[in-house]
Amino acid sequence: MRVSPLIGALILAAMPAVAEEEPASVIPWLSESLRAPKTATEPAAKPLTAPEVTTMPLSGMRRDAVGLLSPSLTGLPRDLFAATDPDRVARLIADLPPDALPAMQDLVLMLLLAELDPPRATADPDALFFARVDGLLRLGALDQAQALLERAGATDPEAFRRWWDASLLTGYDTRACDAMTANPGVAPTLPARIFCLTRTGDWAAAALTLDTGRALGAISEEEDRLVAHFLDPEMFEGESPPPPPQPMTPLAFRLLDGIGEAPPTRDLPLAFAAADLRHTTGWKARIEAAERLTRAQALDPNRLLALYTEARPSASGGVWDRAAAIQALDTALMSGDAERIAASLPQAMTEMGDAGLLVPFAALYGERVALAGLNGPPRALALRLGLLSPAYERVAASVAPETPREAFAVAIAQGDFASTPPQGPLPEAISDGLTGPAPADLTGLAAEGRLGEALLEIATTLSDPDATDPQDVAAALAFLREAGLDDAARRTALQLLLL
């Protein structure tokens, strides 16, 4: 078989990669398929481009400064992390569970996507940038991570392999492989190159590359078995599939997916759920993946709604009951019939609450059901949902509370406690936080140029509302207010009270 110059160059270029040490990563599953650091003899990499995101030339700007949200959108100063140690940021992000209070998840995502002034003193000029990207990957916010990487320029191995991983899981593997071919400076290893050869339809060249890698000892036994099954599954018919690697990587997941042996994503880190959003995946698996990502505030609730209403549920239990309940409520709201809305709302509230999706559910339907003119028990449910929605102020101004708890929730939404004294430890803490001064330790961090660090600490503190001390609640809410995040403070208070 004749070997083209391109294939020969690919094989030779991959050989030195195996001798290099892999760069350290704070994410255990981050792909090791692109582990070679660029050497001085390798050609310079070209910038990645994408139709969805305009790539911005840096012109000497540090990547730490790059973001997707301007200060005018976040309401935060650019010097959020001016005096913060990037390793501290990475640890705080890693400590935040994916099922934390939704308002805190939103706050963290905003911090990770904000345009920033780079830290004043750090040994690694990209440390904060990679801490933010890795935080997005941990939270399953792959689209946002891709956009951030593309804007900053994913032209070196450390940035490229993160962009590569996200692209494999979001279904843009052809684009990733095109970028790899055009950017030899990122030095991928043989499994990645072999996979990309198959994306262009050159299976013969892929098989030859694997044989050459074996002969030169440039591929491990585990990689060999996985790639060989991917290239020719019929050869191994009747044999056990290759065992999934530990930890799973996006490339290994796609290779296993190619032979019909992809492991369930519910047993993998959250980022892998994005792979189940592809249209080649079954409806149930897509709903389950969308629920996981929406619960972490990494996916727009409207995408989950589109999946719930895609077809008529064919079974009962679990996701099917949630889909049926959402479809019933959606139909009732379109009809404008208050009785139908009242009849369908309790089941939908129960299903979404049990799934930990009440806040995304409120974002979709809260204002509409709260203003639908319901009576009796459904009215209380509708008010609760409306106050958990982004339209909580409009809802509070349009309803008349009937219980002390409702009155206090309306007072939070309106920011006025004059006629509604708090009753109980949590309401008292909320009232103190929304009216009193912030503690000195948090304001001290902000004064030192560590506002972002203080906000991440608050997010971690409030990540488990049931285990949070009321004094910590008061301190966190007061600091959010003093930082100019009054909306975040009130949304947090409402979720603490109503969830």
Identify the structural domains of the chain with CATH numbers, from first to last: 5-50+126-236 (1.25.40), 319-498 (no CATH)
Cα-trace Rg, the chain: 25
Distance CA 184, CA 16 (A): 13
d(CA 361, CA 325): 12
Task: List C-alpha distances in Å: 184 to 87, 157, 262.
Answer: 30, 10, 29
- For 235, which DSSP code? G
Residue 96 to residues 18, 142, 431, Cα–Cα distance (Å): 35, 17, 26
What pLDDT, in 10s, does the model give residues 201-244? Answer: 999 999 999 999 999 888 889 999 999 999 998 888 888 888 88
Report the range out of 169-183, 222-236, 320-334, 459-473 with the highest average pLDDT.
Answer: 320-334
Least confident stretch, 60-74, 135-149, 246-260: 60-74
CA 423 to chain centre: 37
Residue 116 near residue 78 (C-beta atoms within 8 A): yes
Residue 54 and residue 51: Cα distance in Å, rounded? Answer: 7
Q: What are 273-288's pLDDT values in tens digits? A: 999 999 889 999 999 9
CB 389 within 8 A of CB 362: yes
pLDDT of residue 187: 57
pTM of structure: 0.86
Whole-number Å distance between alpha carbons of 121 and 248? 35
Nearest CA-CA partner of 159 in 291, 45, 82: 45
H or E, element range at 91? helix 86-95
Omega before residue 247 within 30° of 0, cis:
yes
Contacts of 293 by beta carbon, 8 Å cutoff, 6+ apart: 140, 270, 273, 274, 277, 299
Lookup result for tokens 């959003």: 277
Q: What is the pLDDT of residues 385-401, one digit of tens each?
A: 999 999 999 999 998 89
